[in-house]
Structure 1
Amino acid sequence: MSPPEMAAVGTRQSVAMEAPPGLGRRRWSIGVLLGVGILINYFDRVNISVAAPQLQQEFGLTPVEIGLLFSAFFWSYAILQVPVGMVLDRFGVMTVSRVGAFLWGVASGVVVLATGFGTIFAARILLGVAEAPAFPANSKATGYWFPRAERSLATAIFDAAAKFSNVIGVPLVALAVVTFGWRWGFGLTALLSFAYFLAYWFIYRDPSADAKLSRQEWDYIQRGGATPEGTAEASPFAMLGYLLRNRKVWGLTIGFAAYGYCFYLFLTWLPGYLVAEMHMSIIKSAGYAAIPWLCATVSDLVVGGWLVDRMIAKGHDETRVRKTVLVGGMILGLAVFGATATTTPVWAIFWISIALSGLAAAAPVGWSIPSLIAPRGGTGAIGGVMNFFNNLMGAVAPVVTGLIVGATNSFAIAFLVAGIVLLVGIFFYVVVLGRIEPIPEPDGAEPASAAAL
């Protein structure tokens, strides 16, 4: 039986099984490749923040222009999430991700040659376009490459990279900027992006086309419930409309948006909180701020990844395990309230580390769900819808927090709002999402398993 035929026959039900001795590790090589890509993604995103003082001085930029440069990436990135999900479902992971990775390097390379605000602004817009497919594509790829019982750890590898980038990305880019000047800050990320493009070009294939994937490992992946390869029978617009009418999609989307609100609040305001409320210097706040992100990286991998897969492999109910971590992580996010009751930096970092660790544990579970519930050819669309609303919170949370802090001179109410948002997300995860199981194929589309019989 050929690999495509085996993919069609493969069931999407959870199979609790241990990997047999001598099984190949090709799937984990792919998982690490995807994680490295996200790490470089975030280097590309933070370089503008590190280089901003030198950019402002060289080109005489106003604070408003610097703000526009900071936000330009998110405009195109967020707007394209839904369209890029449809493109992924139409043209596949390999093609779209290759183009995207090449454009990451182009976008940073353009800034190296920039002569003013306009060039840099256009390059940041291009970077948003180039990186828009990254998370939906990785979610789709892990669905192809990993059985359901390993999906959480595989997803945690690339999701944790986003957290870990806050620990090493800023110092790495800062070293290049301080040592060689701001152009080399962008030059470094351009070189890393082009290097990743070459690595992805030569390494990544979908499982059915990967000559280095052994038949034994392929069979293990398929028997474990890998997402069937192939495009949807329905048109991309018909598939999107079908999915937008499904309650599971909205349960996942609103729940993940609540996570996104709190994630972006911490991402943008944590250093400012430490300076304003804890009276730290900027240098000291940067060091303290790295601690919660390091804790989040470990929690992402160990709890949201390894532990979830371990529990499912032991035969525990898949929905119960995943939703326990989802909801439990969101509840731990409420620990941020503890930071409002202390003026001691150590205790503030303690509570924030608990909150970020809980949210980080929930994140890879959330990102694994599109490939677990999508009908054939619909993973990209679900991931795109989910990430659109997630990144919309990247625009909303910093602004709302800034308005509240400006009006009250305190973060207490801002954190209270974040807690209320988390409670809304918990409701949608518990009540609206329901069981984590595949959405039926649209009317007129033949299920993958039936097609092969």
Structure 2
Amino acid sequence: MVAPGGDVSNNGYGRAAWVVWGVGLFAYAVVVMHRTSLGVAGLEAADHFNTTPGVISTFVVLQLATYAIAQVPVGLLLDRFGSRILLTAGVLLAGGGQVLLAFAEDLPLAYAARLLLGVGDACIFNSVLRLLPRWFDARRVPVLSQVTGMFAAIGQIAAVGVVLPLIQGYGWTTGLLIASTTCVVSAVASAVFVRNSPRGEPTAVVADPLREIPRNILGVTKHPATQLGFWIHFTSGFSMNTFLFMWGMPYLIVGQGLSQLEASGLFTLLSVASMVAGPIVGALTARHPLRRSNLALIVIGSLIVAWTLVLAWPGKAPALLLFVLVIVIAVNGPGTGIGFDFPRTNLPVTRLGAANGVVIAGGFTGGTVLILVMGVFLDWIAGGEQYTAQDLRWAWMLQAPFFAIGIAGILLSRRRLRALMAAQGVIVPSWREVVERIRRSRGSAG
């Protein structure tokens, strides 16, 4: 399989490659820290704005929606200007959003602050991914992509260990302003140390005439590799995003009767397990490039089984089953990363920004819609009262059509991609052919 975006034939470009990637990782961790700050400081935010945690939760929906909607425009800017400018601008926008939130006294200004942060956040992960094929050997990229995703967990931990203590120790405004200085440091580092490509190599940026932009967006979006990546990210990511950003903690506490400490422990386990699973999923993706979609389906299938067992269990699920559910949700985080490997190996590097933007929108679009659907459903079924464990059980069952639509999208787009690959001379053998080849090899060896 040809990898237009991964044409570095050596093992990378030495220390410079690791510096460029490291600065990108720092930017990603910093922005994720600020992205999740309201999740860990929700009570402090409710107190500051004199409102309820329920109202503060609408910040999450706005931020996720902004993040998803901004992906394709940001991807186009990334292909036009490169990672250096987008990383620098992204962390400055995110920092500006946090500064605005620090001084905000009313909800409209706070919503504007989260919108600004959402746009900045949308610039970061895609920018780091786009650097990898230019600076590292193509065989390393799947694992490095997964390691990049792991730094979201670092940012989440930093939100608990840095932002929350600053707010509690110095107050809302001063705490957020101190935390925002990390964005300034990251922006300076990105501007100074990040380069779109190694010295002497093509910059891999393209300045399309404005009149051709709609056609190019349509071409990238219609490509089966982009569509397969989108549906994998959607199906593997919507449940995890809904669990992490909104309905996981209420389900564990109200639906399963766990204490705040026990539920927080499972959330910490989820972050750690995702970090462990990332390199493993990346290595399997690199080792079996013709079976990447099967790996994604296995990961997704395990999540469907885990949720089915937990939701079908009469009463409260056993602790072991909840432990398994959290582990499987954690593995589906790296599972979304499989989606990025299809555009990388089937599209030119000059189109990766837009293509990866479409892929990233998958899981966050699904998560945003499910968060809203579950919220509306819970308001309806609870009739204005406090929702119950049974209400939450029914609400989480609303995942079923999301899984059905996502798997159908994966299978249909995979069929189209394999037909295109076959026309290019790359044939994916059937499982029967693989088994027969293994049987013959063992027979000849004996």
- Is TM-score (shorter-chain normalized) higher than 0.5? yes
The answer to whether 1:411 aligns with 2:381 is no
- In structure 2, distance between residues paired with 1:286 and 1:161: 19
Distance 1:327 1:433, change over 3 A: farther
Structure 2 counterpart of 1:240: 217
Match of 2:352 among 352, 370, 379: 379
The answer to whether 1:231 aligns with 2:202 is no
Structure 1 counterpart of 2:82: 92
**Tell me, what secondary structure is at the counterpart of 1:434?**
helix
Match of 1:340 among 311, 314, 320: 311
The answer to whether 1:111 aligns with 2:88 is no
2:332 aligned partner, one-letter code: L
| Structure in which a larger fraction of residues adopt helix | 2
**Tell me, what secondary structure is at the counterpart of 2:14?**
coil
**Tell me, what secondary structure is at the counterpart of 1:140?**
helix
> How do residues 48-447 of structure 1 correspond to structure 2 at under 5 angstroms?
48-61=38-51, 65-209=55-199, 229-231=204-206, 235-267=212-244, 268-300=246-278, 302-309=279-286, 311=287, 318-320=289-291, 322-334=292-304, 335-342=306-313, 343-403=316-376, 407=381, 409-411=391-393, 413-414=397-398, 416-417=400-401, 419-421=403-405, 423-424=407-408, 426-428=410-412, 430-434=414-418
**Tell me, what secondary structure is at the counterpart of 2:300?**
helix
| Higher mean C-alpha displacement, 112-121 vs 191-200 | 112-121
How far has the Cα of 1:15 moved from its partner?
8.3
Q: TM-score, normalised by structure 2?
A: 0.80
Q: TM-score, normalised by structure 1?
A: 0.79
Distance 1:64 1:411, change over 3 A: closer
Indicate the percent of aligned positions where both proteins have the same amino acid: 19
Structure 1 counterpart of 2:434: none
Distance 1:63 1:381, change over 3 A: same
- In structure 2, distance between residues paired with 1:182 and 1:438: 58
> How do residues 42-53 of structure 1 correspond to structure 2 at under 5 angstroms?
42-53=32-43
| Higher mean C-alpha displacement, 422-431 vs 118-127 | 422-431
Equivalent residues of 2:94, 2:121 under 8 A apart: yes
Instruction: State how many pairs are aligned.
Output: 406
**Tell me, what secondary structure is at the counterpart of 1:229?**
coil
- In structure 1, distance between residues paired with 2:56 and 2:344: 38
Gaps of 5+ in 2: 382-389, 425-446
How far has the Cα of 1:44 moved from its partner?
0.8
Equivalent residues of 1:101, 1:193 under 8 A apart: yes
Distance 1:17 1:103, change over 3 A: closer
How far has the Cα of 1:252 moved from its partner?
2.0
| Higher mean C-alpha displacement, 402-411 vs 348-357 | 402-411
How far has the Cα of 1:336 moved from its partner?
2.7
- In structure 1, distance between residues paired with 2:115 and 2:422: 35
- In structure 2, distance between residues paired with 1:383 and 1:438: 23
How far has the Cα of 1:183 moved from its partner?
2.5
How far has the Cα of 1:173 moved from its partner?
2.4
- In structure 1, distance between residues paired with 2:5 and 2:118: 36
Distance 1:18 1:324, change over 3 A: farther
- In structure 1, distance between residues paired with 2:164 and 2:141: 35
- In structure 2, distance between residues paired with 1:184 and 1:437: 56
Gaps of 5+ in 1: 1-9, 211-217, 219-226, 312-316, 441-453
Distance 1:16 1:352, change over 3 A: farther
**Tell me, what secondary structure is at the counterpart of 2:51?**
coil
Q: Considering only aligned residues, what root-mean-square deviation do their CA atoms show, in Å?
A: 3.3
